[in-house]
């Protein structure tokens, strides 16, 4: 079922708000994300960088981990927001983490210029590896 425009707007607004809290002193590339759970709750997260770059966590994964920490296991959508002029898609690691909780979830990428791209995770990560692959 396609997301309603009001739902997309609220999810994108939550991602935008989260981007303002990003800790990005090295890349200067703040990212906010928000995920929509099956029960209709929204959880947001931002990127948190670290001087030891490999320990940095992306906004998408921060949002997923917040939802999972609250007991959710099924995600319907993820919005990503960056304040710059170009939209940003989830990195490979984030795609795989998102895949764990919603193989066909809606992905909304938005940016400060107002540009927005809508797609689904199965388009971004075709022929994916998921929990059912281990059975």
> Which residues are marked as active site?
60
Cβ count near 133 (within 10 Å):
7
Question: What does the alpha-carbon distance between residue 18 and residue 45 come to, in Å, rounded to a whole number?
Answer: 6
| Alpha-carbon separation of residue 46 from 24, 25, 31, 32 (angstroms) | 9, 13, 6, 4
> Could you tell me which residues are beta bridge partners of residue 107?
78, 119
According to DSSP, the β-strands at 116-120 and 75-82 are: unpaired
CB 62 within 8 A of CB 33: yes
What's the gap between Cα 78 and its chain centre? Answer: 4
């Amino acid at each position: 079922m396609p997301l309603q425009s009001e739902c997309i707007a609220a999810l994108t607004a939550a991602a935008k708000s989260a981007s303002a809290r990003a800790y990005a002193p090295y890349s200067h590339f703040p990212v906010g994300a928000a995920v929509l759970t099956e029960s209709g709750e929204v959880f947001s997260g931002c990127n948190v960088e670290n001087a030891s770059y490999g320990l940095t966590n992306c906004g998408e994964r921060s949002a997923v981990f917040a939802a999972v920490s609250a007991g959710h296991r099924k995600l319907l959508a993820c919005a990503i927001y960056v304040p710059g002029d170009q939209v940003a898609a989830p990195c490979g690691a984030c795609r795989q983490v998102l895949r764990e909780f919603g193989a066909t979830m809606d992905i909304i990428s938005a940016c400060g210029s107002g540009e927005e791209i809508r797609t689904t995770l199965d388009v971004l990560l075709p022929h994916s590896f998921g929990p059912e692959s281990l059975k």
